[in-house]
Structure 1
Amino acid sequence: MDVNESHSVSLKLLVDRMQSEVVFAEANHDFVDILFSFMTIPVSTVLKLTGDQTFSCMNNLCASVKNADENLLLHKSCREVLLHPRSAAEIYCRNLKVNWYETDGIEYFECGSCEQVNYYWQNGLCSCCGRQLCNELKLPSPSPNLPGGFTKSTTRFMITSDLNVRPISTMKGLMLLNSLGGGENNMLEERTIDVGKDEILQLLKFSLVSKNPLTKAFLRLVPPSNNSCNITRLDSGSVNVDHSQETVSSSAKTEEMISLKLIINSVNNTLLYAEAANDFVNLLCSFLTFPIGFLFQKNSYLPFNGCMDNVYKSINNIEVELFKSPLMKETLLESRLAPGLAQIKKVISIKDATEPKYHGLMGHYNAKRVNISSMSCNRETVIANGFFKGPSSFMIMDNLAVMPLSSISGLCLIKKMQIPFDKIVEKEVVIGENEAIRLFAASLVAENALTDAFLRDEIKQEQQDKYTSTLLYMYVSFSFL
């Protein structure tokens, strides 16, 4: 498929003309499959697709990878792997009606011994049996034999303004109108729009930063129509139709731990920067390869800037019978890395997806098959041991800009901020899975990720202590009057 080829899906909107807002939308499986596919997009790909600077910490991390000295990288291809990671669910996204994933030119590699299909070259050895890879496979997109998406083609859904998705129902629509307020006549009208790739990417962006992404992304597309209808919202009180989901706990633990030194201004307990070895930087960079859905899988209770967490909750709450198979629902809820991206020293227990077998893949695709021995291959993609060489030391700023550790740069920063040297303290933190997941969340939703992940509780406690001391002082002073 030519990624620039014009494809679109139809979307019906119920619009409040007085508020200039989308109340909710109705759509068939094509649009909902696209919305659900957002869960499978690697973080680095999200940044590339949205072209936005909202996620400042992750953008700083991407820039650091882009500008990193090649001598610090384990292999030349590590930069490409981090900036353009594969999606574990890319096969299921190839035939989406509007395709956000640029599938042209994607290569797979076949093992001649066990018929495993590898996503990455890995020095030409099969990740399953370790023997030599023999063929390169190029899959056409789309494939007429493999329908895209996750939900059954006969289903229709309603999508609220904050991206709660549920099977379509008249009563649910009435309950939704009721929950938005009652007793007031509001001018609501129906509008039908065609949504293409540009609009889908706008929705992706606003779903991460806005509480009303349908309005932000789509309301500007069409002028008001004459097909308005007066609807009186019910006045019998608010009805809560929001679906809830229990917090997904990280019960699976790993034994790997990573240490990090925080350089802190003790005057106001603010972080200047952190010192770390390559193992921490490998952990940090691995976040770029994580599917965005992993954040909601592990942190569904966090107050996100946007409302993509509602998409995850909706997937969890929709009956499995509406999906093409239980595997499709599981693929969206249990985020995995593309095969080959998991590292040996892995603090966070996120798994690799299962690599397909050759005959299973070829049963759906008429792939172009090229014998590797006839090609002039100069590939080098070994990522199982991380991305940066060790032993090496790095300076990580609060906004996740990463650079080689420099005492001179650190001293210049301290001098520039006019901090007395005796007020600089070092604090060592040990990072396990819980701390790493907290850092992953902070890197997406905070402007100062390290402070938010490792010092926020202490700062809050310090502020509480000051508040308590002030109240105590006022009480004592008042007692002496």
Structure 2
Amino acid sequence: MAATKVSLKLLIDKKSHQVLFAEAGKEFVDFLITIFALPVGTVIRLLKKQGMVGCLQNFYESIENLSDTYLQPDQNKDSLLKPKVYFSGGVVPLQLPNVESSSTSRKFYRCNNTSISYGYSTNCISYVSANSRAICPSCQNFMNRELNFVDPPSSNNPGSSSEGGYVKGVVTYMVMDNLVVNPLSTISSITLLNNFNVKEVGNLEEKVVDLGMDEGVKLLKASLLSNKMAATKVSLKLLIDSKGQRVLFAEAGKEFVDFLITILALPVGTVIRLLKKQGMVGCLQDFYESIESLSDTYLQPKQNKDSLLKPKVYISGGGVVPLQLPNIESSTSRKFYRCVQGHAYVSDDRNTSCPSCTRPSITMTSELTYVDSRSGNNSGSSSEGGYVKGVVTYMVMDDLVVKPMSTISSITLLNNFNVKDVGALEEKVVDLGMEEGLKLLKASLLTKNLLVSM
């Protein structure tokens, strides 16, 4: 994480002891926009020392402790717990870890055997992967020839800029206490004084604060706290103490655990959109809506609001996961292209010009077939898809700790829960669909007692 400092100028009412609003440059607004693309798994790691609200951190740690035996052969915990999302904003001050920027950090590979003279099929050139250990479907060799990723041209904002980031640097932005952001207007600022019922301008003072790495993480936590989904059903069997009126734990299959794992890769921007009707806690939704309303004039030439507000992260879950949340595309749906000459470049937009071709009009239109990474730790294959194995029943605790089910451990838990009357225990099967999945997502971010909310 870069140690670059970002400054904010605060306007403070000394009499009421409140911050009215702040003036910020592009660096601060760029930092806020990066939060939209941040996977939930990254947020959990960042806020570990701060104390993550909700029970998702418990689930995260239980997956950390889960034996690789229970994972699908083509999955590994590092990719599940440390999801990455790529964006083309360049280096942003207060850049958060595990978010790689710009096309130069994106690594793609193709098969080395691309020449007919060596006796190999030309089909080898038609495959691309993000893993140098992936196997070429045509010749069964490793795909370890590196390709250069080429950023697609912007359709909305032609032109270029050396500033980088997302919004333009010629503008000063007004940031409200609830994180609503607008271009600064002197008249609007003065009008705001009336809204804040400021009677004496002499009581106002300005204060400049610098935000570094630690302050950036604290701001991330505060922004989350202070004020086409599949219709597939997933079942949970709850063990309820009817006498104590509490849920002790639940039994779940792989579908439920797979769904929880997809949440770790979910960009914050997607979470905001999903929970809009549910009522998103914190002020990030206000910032999200202010960027929606921001004129394209203030965006960098190569940026567009759709890509900023609807970040996508690709996960290799092997197809559809029950309760799959929108804007999470499996790796098999990824589209990549190369030029007809077969140069060592790849792009995800067929309108991108090949840097090696002599004519700029030659675009990268030859579609490539994406090859899923094959884990070096787990050899073998499975037709189940998803992340964890389906032959196992999993125990889900009220705080979202997940473990493989053990009958003896379950009985021992009854002692821990101080259950005296086994006859007072009853089971209840609940089905989770789209609506319940959204409620579960919200509850996992807010409460330590997830099962009670079902």
Cα distance, 1:57 vs structure 2: 0.6
Task: Tell me the equivalent position of 2:414.
Answer: 414
| Alignment equivalent of 2:321, drawn from 321, 332, 345 | 345
Task: Tell me the equivalent position of 2:403.
Answer: 403
Q: What percentage of aligned pairs have identical amino acids?
A: 28
| Alignment equivalent of 2:266, drawn from 281, 285, 290 | 290
Task: Tell me the equivalent position of 2:81.
Answer: 83
Cα distance, 1:443 vs structure 2: 0.7
| Structure 2 SS opposite 1:189 | strand
Cα distance, 1:59 vs structure 2: 1.0
Q: Is the 8 A contact 2:71 2:389 kept in 1?
A: yes
Q: Is the 8 A contact 2:76 2:377 kept in 1?
A: no
Task: Tell me the equivalent position of 1:110.
Answer: 109
Task: Report the TM-score when normalising by structure 1.
Answer: 0.71
Task: Tell me the equivalent position of 1:372.
Answer: none
| Alignment equivalent of 2:181, drawn from 165, 185, 190 | 165
Q: 1:182 to 1:152 in 2, by over 3 A?
A: closer
In structure 1, what is the Cα distance between the partners aligned to 2:377 and 2:423? 51
| Alignment equivalent of 1:25, drawn from 19, 22, 32 | 22
| Structure 2 SS opposite 1:71 | helix
Task: Tell me the equivalent position of 1:428.
Answer: 429
Cα distance, 1:256 vs structure 2: 2.5
Q: Is the 8 A contact 2:127 2:136 kept in 1?
A: no
Cα distance, 1:448 vs structure 2: 1.1
Q: Is the 8 A contact 1:121 1:379 kept in 2?
A: no
Task: Tell me the equivalent position of 1:197.
Answer: 213
Task: Tell me the equivalent position of 1:440.
Answer: 441
| Structure 1 SS opposite 2:412 | helix
Across the two proteins, how many residue pairs are aligned to each other?
A: 392
Q: 1:450 to 1:325 in 2, by over 3 A?
A: farther
Task: Report the TM-score when normalising by structure 2.
Answer: 0.75
Task: Tell me the equivalent position of 1:133.
Answer: 143
After superposition, residues 18-97 of structure 1 pair within 5 angstroms as 18-51=15-48, 52-75=50-73, 77-87=75-85, 90-97=86-93
Q: Is the 8 A contact 1:119 1:355 kept in 2?
A: no
Q: 1:394 to 1:359 in 2, by over 3 A?
A: closer
Cα distance, 1:168 vs structure 2: 1.3
Q: Is the 8 A contact 1:42 1:289 kept in 2?
A: yes
Q: Is the 8 A contact 2:110 2:143 kept in 1?
A: yes
In structure 2, what is the Cα distance between the partners aligned to 1:45 and 1:365? 34
| Alignment equivalent of 1:309, drawn from 285, 303, 309 | 285
- The one-letter amino acid of 1:78's match is N
Q: Is the 8 A contact 2:163 2:169 kept in 1?
A: no
In structure 2, what is the Cα distance between the partners aligned to 1:65 and 1:23? 43
Are positions 1:8 and 2:5 aligned together?
yes
Q: 1:257 to 1:302 in 2, by over 3 A?
A: closer
Greater helix share, structure number: 1
Q: 1:115 to 1:342 in 2, by over 3 A?
A: same
Task: Tell me the equivalent position of 1:241.
Answer: none
Task: Tell me the equivalent position of 2:239.
Answer: 263
Q: Is the 8 A contact 1:258 1:430 kept in 2?
A: yes
| Alignment equivalent of 2:312, drawn from 328, 336, 351 | 336
Cα distance, 1:439 vs structure 2: 0.9
In structure 2, what is the Cα distance between the partners aligned to 1:342 and 1:312? 31
Cα distance, 1:343 vs structure 2: 4.2
- The one-letter amino acid of 1:133's match is M
In structure 2, what is the Cα distance between the partners aligned to 1:263 and 1:34? 44
Cα deviation code 1:434-471 (max 9, x no counterpart): 2212211111112212222x1xxxxxxxxxxxxxxxxx
In structure 2, what is the Cα distance between the partners aligned to 1:8 and 1:365? 35
| Structure 1 SS opposite 2:20 | strand
Cα distance, 1:161 vs structure 2: 1.2
In structure 1, what is the Cα distance between the partners aligned to 2:128 and 2:167? 26
Q: 1:275 to 1:184 in 2, by over 3 A?
A: farther
| Structure 2 SS opposite 1:41 | coil
In structure 2, what is the Cα distance between the partners aligned to 1:76 and 1:263? 33
- The one-letter amino acid of 1:48's match is R
| Structure 1 SS opposite 2:208 | strand
Q: Is the 8 A contact 2:266 2:313 kept in 1?
A: yes
Moved more, 102-111 or 32-41: 102-111
In structure 2, what is the Cα distance between the partners aligned to 1:365 and 1:8? 35
Cα deviation code 1:352-403 (max 9, x no counterpart): 465665344898999xxxxxxxxxx947699992221122101101110011
| Structure 1 SS opposite 2:273 | helix
Cα deviation code 1:308-361 (max 9, x no counterpart): 222222222223343336963112322422354674324224234656653448
Moved more, 28-37 or 264-273: 264-273
| Alignment equivalent of 1:156, drawn from 141, 148, 172 | 172
- The one-letter amino acid of 2:189's match is G
- Runs of 5+ consecutive residues of structure 2 not aligned to the other structure: 112-123, 150-159, 338-344, 357-374
In structure 1, what is the Cα distance between the partners aligned to 2:302 and 2:17? 39
Q: Is the 8 A contact 1:336 1:350 kept in 2?
A: no
- The one-letter amino acid of 1:408's match is I
Moved more, 23-32 or 381-390: 381-390
Are positions 1:99 and 2:100 aligned together?
no
In structure 2, what is the Cα distance between the partners aligned to 1:125 and 1:443? 40
Q: Is the 8 A contact 1:123 1:380 kept in 2?
A: no
Q: 1:95 to 1:206 in 2, by over 3 A?
A: same
- The one-letter amino acid of 1:37's match is T
- The one-letter amino acid of 2:91's match is N
| Structure 2 SS opposite 1:92 | coil
Cα distance, 1:138 vs structure 2: 8.5
Q: 1:311 to 1:70 in 2, by over 3 A?
A: same
